[in-house]
Amino acid sequence: MSKPIQKLVDNLPTNNLTVSMLRSLDFVIPGQWQNVTGFENTIRVVTGETDEGLIQQIGERAIYLYNDRSQGYQRAMWLYQTVDSTDVALGTAALANKIGERVPLLGFLNRLTPKADKAQTIDLSLKLVAELVAFCYINGIPGDSIGDFVASLADYSSESLMRMVALVCVDGLIPLGPDFILKAQSVLNDTNPKELEKNATFQRISDVIPGVTSLNKLLFIGESFDSVKGWMSGLVSSRNLTPQKVVNNLQQTIEVADDKLDYLAAFLDVATNYYEHTGTQTLARRLIERAVAEI
């Protein structure tokens, strides 16, 4: 049995490396994301209600909805967690999380290997597909509705928008460079189903990616990437985003040398879980919005 939703939201950290990283990306979408934590607090923030009796009713309904597996919320949560699961065995990284202070990167370098462009591209596009599928689970839209998802990206706000911004910055611009969209697309075109099957994240989430064979799934991944690239390049150009700009802002949190960007990407991969963090917030918000409308 997975963890109760109220515990997941209660346990969201108020300050760790993930939170600091997301805060340092605030310059992309100023004031959009607040780190809302705690189940009851989230109910108050999302609904604007203050009556304790109402908060109790909303919370109870949200918990009922989450625990009913036919509603798809648990699957969405699982996706956010799985796509982000990182090697937390790095004891020092765990301690760094606890402390939430500036982290000098140098100490980690000898334990990390930057991912190859292909692995990084697969990682980026799998996160994108996970977002799409989770969106469909949460909002009740059929699982292969790329069109519905792309249309609603324009309406993304708060933690959902921050998740996509972090995806573009941390899994796109930093590891793959300023032309990451073109690069990722050409790498994807050059990837065969066998290579995809070797990817650990794909092995875990392949069941929820539309398509019967690995080839079908690979084509769906390519199609999803293709549909979202317009949105991503719009974000990059409208905010004038460059790897350098992102790193300059991240340097408030992490001390890193400019020629070590590949290592920075690898470090953020192991030491942060922004997908799970903001995914939990998105899910809680949608559950609470439904619960308050139903009671």
Partner 1 sequence: MIFPNARRILVAFLLSMLLFVTACQPQASSRFDQVQETSSQQKSGQAVANATQGSSFNPFFPAASRGYERVYTQEKKGFAEAKLKKDGKDLALMAISDTRSLPTAAAKFKNTTKQIVGYPAVEIGNTQTAVLVADRYQVKVLSRDASFTASDREALLKQFDYQGLAKLQ
Please identify, using beta-carbon distances, which residue of 59 and 172 lies nearer to partner 1. Answer: 59
Told to check if 140 binds partner 1 by CB under 8 A, we report yes
Q: Which stretch binds partner 1 (CB under 8 A): 149-157, 224-232, 237-245, 249-257?
A: 149-157
Q: What is the DSSP-derived secondary structure letter of residue 295? A: -
Told to check if 182 binds partner 1 by CB under 8 A, we report no
Contact between 77 and 5 under an 8 Å Cβ cutoff? The reply is: yes
Closest CA to 127 of 188, 182, 201, 200: 201
x-or-dash pattern for partner 1, window 93-132, by CB under 8 A? -xx--x----------------------------------
3-state secondary structure 41-54: HHHHHHHCCCCHHH
Residue from 15, 86, 139, 201 touching partner 1 (CB under 8 A): that is 139
In whole angstroms, what is the distance from residue 293 CA to residue 286 CA? 11
| Size of the residue set binding partner 1 (CB under 8 A) | 41
Told to check if 145 binds partner 1 by CB under 8 A, we report no
What is the nearest approach in angstroms of partner 1 to the Cβ of residue 292?
A: 7
Write the single-letter amino acid at 34: Q
Contact between 166 and 274 under an 8 Å Cβ cutoff? The reply is: yes
What is the nearest approach in angstroms of partner 1 to the Cβ of residue 161?
A: 13
Please identify, using beta-carbon distances, which residue of 63 and 219 lies nearer to partner 1. Answer: 63
Q: What size, in residues, is the chain?
A: 295
Told to check if 89 binds partner 1 by CB under 8 A, we report no
Please identify, using beta-carbon distances, which residue of 140 and 259 lies nearer to partner 1. Answer: 140
N- to C-terminal Cα distance for the chain?
A: 26
Task: Assign 104 to helix, strand or coil.
Answer: strand
Query: Residue 107 burial by CB count (10 A; 0-12/13-18/19+): exposed, middle or buried?
Result: exposed
Please identify, using beta-carbon distances, which residue of 141 and 270 lies nearer to partner 1. Answer: 141
Please identify, using beta-carbon distances, which residue of 95 and 200 lies nearer to partner 1. Answer: 95
Write the single-letter amino acid at 37: T
What is the nearest approach in angstroms of partner 1 to the Cβ of residue 95?
A: 7
Measured over the CA atoms of residue 233, residue 149, residue 276 and residue 189, the dihedral's sign is negative
**Tokens in use for 201?**
């994240």
Other CB atoms within a 10 A radius of the CB of residue 81 amount to 17
What is the nearest approach in angstroms of partner 1 to the Cβ of residue 203?
A: 25
Closest CA to 33 of 161, 131, 136: 161
What is the nearest approach in angstroms of partner 1 to the Cβ of residue 35?
A: 20
Contact between 66 and 75 under an 8 Å Cβ cutoff? The reply is: no
Please identify, using beta-carbon distances, which residue of 139 and 185 lies nearer to partner 1. Answer: 139
- State which of positions 8-67 bind partner 1 (CB under 8 A): 39, 47-51, 54, 56, 59-61, 63-65, 67
Report the interface residues with partner 1, using CB under 8 A: 1, 4, 6, 39, 47-51, 54, 56, 59-61, 63-65, 67-71, 91-92, 94-95, 98, 138-141, 152, 155, 157, 286, 289-290, 292-295
